Amino acid sequence: MKKSLPLIVLACLLPWLVYVFIGQSWVRILDFSLLYLMLSLGLNVVVGYAGLLDLGYIAFFAVGAYSYALLSSPQFGLHWPLLVILPIGALCAGVFGVLLGAPTLRLKGDYLAIVTLGFGEIIRIFLNNLSTPINITNGPQGISEIDPLHVGSFVFNHSSALMGISVPSVIHIYYLFLLAVIVTIVFSYRLEKSRVGRAWMAIREDELAASCVGIHTKRYKLLAFGLGATMGGLSGGLFAGFQEFVSPESFTLMESVMILCMVVLGGMGHIPGVIVGSLLLSVLPELLRESAGWQKSLLGSVWVDPANLRLIMFALALVIMMLLRPEGLIPSSVRKKELHHE
Amino acid sequence: MIFWQQVINGLTLGSIYALVALGYTMVYGIMELINFAHGDVVMVGALIALTLTQWFMQQGLGFPLSLLLASGLSICVCMLLGWVIERVAYRPLRTAPKLAPLITAIGLSLLLQQLAALIWGKSYLPFPGNLEGSSYAWHGIVISSLQLSIFILSLLLMFLLWQLVHHTKLGRAMRSTAQSVPFAQLMGVNTNQVISQTFIIGSALAAVAGVMDVMYYSVGNYTMGFLLGLKAFTAAVLGGIGNLKGAMLGGLLLGVLEALGAGYIGDITHGIMGSNYKDVFAFFVLILVLIFRPNGLLGSNNQEKV
Amino acid sequence: MSNILEVNAISKRFGGLIALNNVSLVIPQHSIVGLIGPNGAGKTTLFNIITGLYRPDQGHMLLLGKRLPVGQAHEVARCGIARTFQNIRLFGHLTVLENILVGRHLRSTASVLGAIFNTAHTRQEEREMRDKAFYFLNYVGLSHRAQDYAKTLSYGDQRRLEIARALATEPQVLALDEPAAGMNSKERQDLAQLIQRIKEEGVTVLVIEHDVKWIMSLCQQVSVLHFGQVIAEGDPHLVQNNAKVIEAYLGRGQHHVA
Ligand SMILES: Nc1ncnc2c1ncn2[C@@H]1O[C@H](COP(=O)(O)OP(=O)(O)OP(=O)(O)O)[C@@H](O)[C@H]1O
Ligand SMILES: [Mg+2]
C-alpha cells in the first residue's frame, strides 16, 4: 500500500498535466481508460482468478449502462439519484451474471467461451429490438438525454470554478472514475489474497482436486461470474452518465474481445498487469487515430483506415502475446510459470 | 405449405452449416480445440470467389466457367490459409493450457476479419451473375435449382469425406490421432502431418460452403463468417462435437429449426417477436443442448478419467 | 470397534465395461485398511465413487451410519472424507503454503464481504489459518518449502504435500491412492510411519497399494479387488494365503510374461 502512494499522487496530478500541456480531449481519453480499467479488473476476476473464459463480458457493461439510462432519462420519465441507480445497475448486472453463468457452469472452458459469446450477442440483439411492441430500449437509436453524473446539485459533467480556477468537466469525471478504480483495485487485491480468491485459483488450477478439498466449485464459479458482472455493471452506469447517451452499438463482441485483450496483454490474474494492459490498449489506439494524419503526409493518402489498424493491432496483440509471452507484459510470477509450458 | 417451404429452405441452409460444422468437428475431434477462425476462413473463401468470378467474367469468360475457376482458386487459397493457421498459431501451443490456443484463435478470427475489411472494404458486395436459374414448383412449394445444387453438392462432399475418413490410410491415421496423439505416434503415424491435413480438408470444405453461402444470399461481407461460424459450431455441438455424422445431422437440423423458427416466431409470440430475432435461435439451441445434452445427439457420454 | 465407513453393493459401469460389480466393504474406525488388486481391478474407481467424483450405478455408502452423498465431491469432503490421487493433483502454480490454505477451505468462513472489507474477523482467521497450515507442513516435514510453487517440489515431496493438503481438511477418513508409487524403500518406510502416525491421531486410513508386502505390514485389514469384485477380505495373513488371491496375482503374472 505504501509503495503505491507515489502512484496515487501521480494519478491525481496527471489530468492537470495532460490538460495544460496536451489538451482537454486527451483528458477525456484518460477518463475512458479508467472506465476500461474498471471493466478489465472485473473481467480479471472471471478470467484471471477463476480461469473462466468469458467472451460476452460487455453484456454486463450494457446492463449497467441501460439500467442507468432507463432510470434517469426522459425514456420513462424517471430521474433517480446517482447513488441509487449505480448500485441498482451493478446489482442488475450481477444478477444477470449469475443467471447467465448458471447454465454454463458444467461446461468445459471452450464451450463456456462460445456460450458466453452467444449470451453477449443475445443481449445486444434484444437491446436492438426491444423497441416494439413496448418501447423499452428505443432500439438502435439508443437512449439520449440521460441525466449527467451528479450528486446533489454538483454535476460532474459541467465545469466548475474552484478558487478562481475553472475546472473542466473532464477533470471532475476523471477524479470520480479514479476513485471508483482505486476502490475496485483495493477490493480486487483483497479478494485475490483471501479464502475466496484462493478457492478461485484452486478451481483454475484443478477443478476436481478443488472439489475434493470441499470447495463448492459451482458456487464459486457463479460468484466469480456475479462479481465480475457487478463490476462491469458499475462501470456501465458511470459510462451512461458520462456519455449522457447509450446505444447498442457500444456493446459489440469487439468490445468484449478488446477488454479480454487488455487483461491478457498485461497479465491475467495479476492486478498491475491488468492496469498496464488496459491503459496501454486504451491510449495506443487514440495515437493510432492520429496516424491518419501522418499516413497522409508520409504516403500521400490514408492507406490504412485507423479504425482497422486499431483492431488489427488488438488481434496481433492477442496472437503474439499468446505465442511469445503468454504470461503478459507484467505477469504475476504464478501465471508466468503456468503458461510457459515445458 | 409454408411449413414444407421452410423445411426446404432450412435444408439448404443446413447443408451449408453442415459443411462448416464438419471443419469444427474434425479439428475438435483431433485436437480438442475450437478453431474460432474457421468461420472467417469461410468468409475469405466466399469473398475470393466473389471477386474472382467477377474478374473472370470481365475477362469475357462465361458465368459457369468463371464460377468454377474462381471456386477452385478460392478452395486452394483457403487450404493454404488453413495450413498456415495451424502451423503458425496452434502448433506452437499444442501442449499449452487450453486458454492459450483459445485466445490465439479469437485473435486470428479478428485478424482475418480486419484484413478482409482492408482488402474488400466494409460494404456488402453483390455476387455477380444471374443466379435466378430455373426453379421447380410442386404443390406450391418452390425449389430453385441453386438450392437443389447446394443440397446435392453438400451431400456429395459429405459422402466423400465419410469415405475418406473410413476407407483410406489418411482416414485411419486421423481416427487414431483423434483417439490419442501419443498412441498414434507409437503406431507410426506422423501426427503433425495428420493435423495439418485435417486443417486443410476442413478449410477446403469451408471454402465450398463460403461460395454456396455467398451465392445463396447473393451478397458477401467481411463479417459474414462470424454468425455463420457460430451457427455451424452450434450445429457441431448439437450433433455431438467430434462426431462426423453428428455434424451433418446437426447442420441440417439447425438449418430447419432456424427456418421454421423464423417463419413461425411471429405467430408463436403473437407478434411480439419478429423474424429479426431469428439469429437468437441458434444461440438458444446451443445453450439448451449444452444444458440438457452436453454430448450432443450422437455424442457418447464420456466421463473424465481421474 | 465400530465401523466408520460401509460400502454397500456398489456397481459402476463405463459403457460395456463393468468396473465395479456389487462391491461391499466395511472399514473399522481407527484402522488402516488396505485395498489391493491387479491393474484395472477398479480400486481407483471405488475411491472416486466414495469421494463423490463418480456416481455409482447402484449401491450406497454409510459414514458412521449416515448416508454419504453421492456424486458431490465437495459434500463428501464436508462429511469428513479426504483423499489423494494416483497421479498427483496439486495446485501446481500455487505455493506450498497456499495449497494447504486451500485445504483449510472447509475450516474457515471468510466470505466475499469479509474479504473485501478486510474485517477484523477475516484478518484474525487468516492468521490462524496460516499457523494451522504451518502445523500441517511441519507434520509432513515441508515447512521449509512453504513459499515455493508446488510444482517445483520433488516427486516424494509432492506426495507428502498432497497428504498434508488432505489432512488440512481435518478428515475422519483419509483415502490414499497409491501413495507409495515411485518411492524407494527408505521413502516407503517413512511413508508407512507417517500413515501410522496419522492413524494414531484418530484418522481412519484407506490405502491403495500394489506392494503386497508393504501393505501387509501396515494394515489391520486388507481387501482384494479383482475385475471389479471383492475376492477376499480380512486379516492380511489370511488374505495373503487365500487361493483366489494367489490365482489373481499369479494369473496376472503369467499374463505379463506372455
Ligand atoms: N472415466 C472412465 N471412463 C471409462 N473407463 C474407465 C474410467 N475410469 C476407469 N475406467 C476403467 O475402469 C477399470 C478400472 O479402473 P481403475 O482405475 O479403477 O483401476 P485400478 O484398480 O485403480 O487400476 P490401477 O492399479 O492401474 O490404478 C479400468 O478398465 C479403466 O480403464
Ligand atoms: Mg488406480
Q: Is the dihedral of CA A292, A298, A304, A308 positive or negative?
A: negative
CA–centroid distance, C86 to ligand 2, in Å, is: 6
Question: Mean of the pLDDT values across residues C227-254?
Answer: 78
ipTM computed for the complex = 0.91
Whether C253 shows a pLDDT value over 60: the answer reads no
pLDDT tens, residue by residue, C21-66:
999 999 999 999 999 999 999 999 999 999 999 999 999 999 998 9
Whether A295 shows a pLDDT value over 80: the answer reads no
What band does A136 get if pLDDT is binned at 50, 70 and 90? Answer: confident
Chains near B (3 or more Cβ pairs under 8 Å): A, C
Q: Do B306 and C44 touch (CB under 8 A)?
A: yes
Q: Do B102 and A311 touch (CB under 8 A)?
A: no
Mean pLDDT of chain A: 84
Residue A163: in which H helix or E strand, if any?
Answer: none
pLDDT of residue A331: 65
pLDDT tens, residue by residue, B87-101:
988 898 887 777 788
Residues from chain A that touch C116, judged by Cβ atoms under 8 A, are 187, 190-191
Whether omega for the bond prior to residue A15 falls within 30 degrees of 0, making it cis, is no
Whether A341 shows a pLDDT value over 70: the answer reads no
Distance of CA C44 to CAs A292, C49, C59, Å?
64, 9, 17
DSSP codes, A40-102: HHHHIIIIIIS----S-THHHHHHHHHHHHHHEETTTTEE--HHHHHHHHHHHHHHHHHHHHH
Chains near A (3 or more Cβ pairs under 8 Å): B, C
Residues from chain B that touch C208, judged by Cβ atoms under 8 A, are none
What band does A317 get if pLDDT is binned at 50, 70 and 90? Answer: confident
Question: Mean of the pLDDT values across residues A191-214?
Answer: 94
Domain containing residue A90: 26-251
Minimum distance, in Å, between the CA of residue C173 and any CA atom of chain B: 20
Identify the residue whose cell numbers are 449527467.
A148
Q: Which residues pair with A160 in a beta bridge?
A: A167
What total of structural domains would you count in chain A? 1
Question: Mean of the pLDDT values across residues A217-246?
Answer: 92
Between A24 and B253, the higher pLDDT residue: B253
Decide if C33 contacts C195 (C-beta within 8 A): no
- Domain ranges in chain B? 19-224
Least confident of A138-152, C113-127, C164-178, C218-232: A138-152
Instruction: Extract the C-alpha cell encoding C7.
Output: 460400502
DSSP 8-state class, residue B90? I
Interface probe, candidates C12, C13, C14, chain B, greatest B C-beta count within 10 A: C14
Alpha helices in chain A (DSSP H): 5-21, 24-43, 58-71, 82-104, 109-129, 169-192, 195-205, 207-212, 217-243, 253-266, 271-289, 291-299, 306-324, 333-339
Q: Which of C10, C14, C86 to mutate to test the pocket of ligand 1 (most atoms within 8 A of CB)?
A: C14
Mean pLDDT of chain C: 90
Whether A252 shows a pLDDT value over 80: the answer reads yes
What band does C258 get if pLDDT is binned at 50, 70 and 90? Answer: very low
Measured distance CA(C207)–CA(A39) in Å, rounded: 48
What band does C193 get if pLDDT is binned at 50, 70 and 90? Answer: very high
Whether C254 shows a pLDDT value over 60: the answer reads no
pLDDT of residue C250: 63
CA–centroid distance, C213 to ligand 2, in Å, is: 18
Is A287 a domain residue? no
Decide if C134 contacts C175 (C-beta within 8 A): no
Between A336 and A115, the higher pLDDT residue: A115
pLDDT tens, residue by residue, B152-211:
999 999 999 999 998 998 888 888 888 888 888 888 888 889 999 999 999 999 999 999
Is A101 a domain residue? yes
Interface probe, candidates B31, B109, B110, chain A, greatest A C-beta count within 10 A: B110
Is A309 a domain residue? no
Measured distance CA(C129)–CA(C147) in Å, rounded: 15
pLDDT tens, residue by residue, B205-237:
999 999 999 999 989 999 899 889 988 988 988
DSSP 8-state class, residue B131? -
Between C249 and B69, the higher pLDDT residue: B69
Residue % of chain A over a pLDDT of 90:
33
pLDDT tens, residue by residue, C58-99:
999 999 989 999 989 999 999 999 999 999 999 988 999 999
CA–centroid distance, B32 to ligand 2, in Å, is: 25
Least confident of A40-49, C219-228, C229-238: C229-238
Least confident of A116-125, A312-321, B127-136: B127-136
DSSP 8-state class, residue A249? G
Question: Mean of the pLDDT values across residues A256-262?
Answer: 87
What band does C256 get if pLDDT is binned at 50, 70 and 90? Answer: very low
Task: Determine if ligand 1 sits within 6 Å of the CB of residue B303.
Answer: yes
Measured distance CA(C125)–CA(C121) in Å, rounded: 6
pLDDT tens, residue by residue, A172-195:
889 999 999 999 999 999 999 999
Is A194 a domain residue? yes
Least confident of A18-27, C140-149, C177-186: A18-27
Beginning with the edge strand found earlier in the chain, give each strand of the sheet holding C32-36 in spatial order: C81-83, C173-177, C204-208, C32-36, C221-226, C229-234
Least confident of A182-191, B55-64, B125-134: B125-134
Is A274 a domain residue? no
Contact with chain A for residue C114, Cβ under 8 A: yes
Residues from chain A that touch B114, judged by Cβ atoms under 8 A, are 308, 311-312, 315
Residues from chain C that touch A213, judged by Cβ atoms under 8 A, are 77, 82, 102-103, 105-106, 165-166, 168-169
Q: Do A212 and C83 touch (CB under 8 A)?
A: yes
